[in-house]
A and B are shown apart, each in its own frame.
Chain A
């Protein structure tokens, strides 16, 4: 049943075609160098078509280790792309509500409340207004300085920051944002967002962590954004 559902995902179909288990993907994989992760093992597991093993994957940390760089696609001698298999597995894990069973899978909520919402509310997947050195310390002191004088620097480099005219960081016209929202509605993105919220709320309760209806300040969101059980993720 799970395998059948996985097989309906066009990325799964594109991603695997008789893996020869050579391990080239694992050798080239940046994730395999820092996490207990082998794309070869993913390809082998899904090739068994065993629903029990696939369910274990959907609940696991393993499927969230890939960075979707697709280096595996270039090197596979059979033209497979374990990165695409991962995308199909993640989509199914979300659909089945199993993503909250892993620490890394639970992170979908904070991604939804940042990248996901920014994309349709502002028309940018990230925006300088939402970035700060608390969430992203590596932005460095230069970024704090830039933010302090943001209007002056943006004007200096020819951006149209918050302005109603073409250019970098312009205000996206409301009609365009309405169209993006409408696309999110008819293509199922909003439905998926609501599903992520709903399943995460149940998990937050189970974990006894407070979760507000929106924003990233509440305990559950802060926990999933910051917490990493290094022992689980070490090679």
Chain B
């Protein structure tokens, strides 16, 4: 009886993740700051897992950032969402995969809105038809890209070239994970593990050999706050929230940060550079900072992909100390080379953060 009860209890923290045949919706933020992560996601799905996924050039921003900077009415956002669903339906697909946590939150919110207010769904059909002559059908399965990597984490582990083990000490690497607020704080039952026990990144870290570090501000927002970052006058909000997290995680000496949301991965990388320049503080022992990775980058690393194909050279916090810890074989001289091997020179070094 007890296991059955527990099974029942944990059921609400599970989510259905489709097995194959996906419609891929890219993320504005991930495309800009981690374009290699999106290439890597498709490489893993198609090349390693043999899945079918449509990369449709016709989809656009979901307008999530415009919605959360209070620029566009909810009718605009739900109609743009309806258009994306129409493109998926026209392609004969029903499993929608969003590469962005803000977008995932938007899709979840709109589906919930339509569920509770069928007249709004009817209105979305009317508005979409009026604007584009398209018809939409709601997805059968809606997931975030990390959900898929989570689902196939053991398959990835079986194909892995590296484990998240410190090569020198033989100890598991210590990892802090950051889920991103809109993944499950609004609709907990839509995220793996809910808002209380988010497991989507934990599952990957543990399957690939690392140890997850619990720390007091683990669930605190990275500080994006939409308008709070996008307008320079407000940016103190943004850096303060990340700083609170860094100070809280630093005593646990994490080897790297793993983020679910592309915005969070960017902030947790760049604010370390800013805090180092402003206050002379870095959050590791050696002054390099704590590398901040996306889960696609991490999956690519354990699979043995070239770090410079993943885009790790475009981070401000240098990832090379981490590559050395894992024992990744890589060419440091190719870090800033073009695809055909032409040397592009070197970036300017930050004043404080070692690079």
Measured CB to CB, the closest approach of chain A to B342, in angstroms, equals: 7
What are the residues of chain A within 8 A of B236 when measuring CB–CB? 34, 228
Q: How many A-B residue pairs have CB under 8 A?
A: 272
| A74 and B188 contact, Cβ closer than 8 Å, known pairs A30-B241, A115-B65, A183-B127 | yes
Q: B347 touching A144 by the CB < 8 A rule?
A: yes
Q: A142 touching B70 by the CB < 8 A rule?
A: no
Q: A226 touching B65 by the CB < 8 A rule?
A: no
Q: B311 touching A180 by the CB < 8 A rule?
A: no
A80 contacts partner chain B, Cβ-Cβ < 8 Å: no
B63 contacts partner chain A, Cβ-Cβ < 8 Å: yes
A112 contacts partner chain B, Cβ-Cβ < 8 Å: yes
Contacting B231 at CB < 8 Å: which of A70, A180, A225? A225
What are the residues of chain A within 8 A of B316 when measuring CB–CB? 140-143
Q: A67 touching B223 by the CB < 8 A rule?
A: yes
Number of interface residues of A (CB under 8 A): 91
What are the residues of chain A within 8 A of B69 when measuring CB–CB? 111, 115-116
Residue ID in chain A nearest B188 by CB atoms: A74
A31 contacts partner chain B, Cβ-Cβ < 8 Å: yes
What are the residues of chain B within 8 A of A138 when measuring CB–CB? 235, 239, 270-271, 273-274
B250 contacts partner chain A, Cβ-Cβ < 8 Å: no
A88-112 interface bits toward B, Cβ cutoff 8 Å, 1 = contact, 0 = none: 0011001000000001100110111
Among the 9-residue stretches A38-46, A52-60, A156-164, the one with 4 or more Cβ atoms under 8 Å from chain B is A156-164
Q: B230 touching A183 by the CB < 8 A rule?
A: no
Q: A141 touching B349 by the CB < 8 A rule?
A: yes
Q: A180 touching B80 by the CB < 8 A rule?
A: yes
A132 contacts partner chain B, Cβ-Cβ < 8 Å: no
What are the residues of chain A within 8 A of B75 when measuring CB–CB? 187-188
What are the residues of chain B within 8 A of A108 when measuring CB–CB? 70-71
A18-34 interface bits toward B, Cβ cutoff 8 Å, 1 = contact, 0 = none: 00000000000011011
| A126 and B28 contact, Cβ closer than 8 Å, known pairs A11-B74, A115-B230 | yes
